[in-house]
Amino acid sequence: MTDLIGFAYAAVVAVGGVIGYVKAGSVMSLGAGLLFGALAAMGASHASSNPGNCHLILGASLTLTCVMGYRFMGSGKFMPAGLVALLSVLMVVRYGMRLL
């Protein structure tokens, strides 16, 4: 069964990186967004073929939770850091529960 939620999360992360580049000229946002979007998409693909094989998307989500959560705590701005941190926490819970 295709992991549509995982692929949607990957798309949001990748598009967020592109938006960061377009709006602010941030090459770092573009690179990180595309890298973590690709990792999440690969993880969603693995989880689609074997629901227990969600380590890659779990790792990407956990990393984004920490990084973007830290950025949100420092800036207090919900967009984009708070939104990505919130979505990432939800994904960590989703895939963490799957492993349990």
Rounded CA gap, 89 and 69, in Å? 9
Residue 39, pLDDT score: 98
pLDDT at 45 (0 to 100)? 97
Tell me what pLDDT residue 84 has. Answer: 96
- pTM confidence score: 0.95
Q: Where are the domains of the chain?
A: 4-99
Both structure tokens of 88: 């990432």
pLDDT in tens, the chain (100 residues): 999 999 999 999 999 999 999 999 999 999 999 999 999 999 999 999 999 999 999 999 999 999 999 999 999 999 999 999 999 999 999 999 999 8
Q: What is the DSSP letter of 51?
A: T
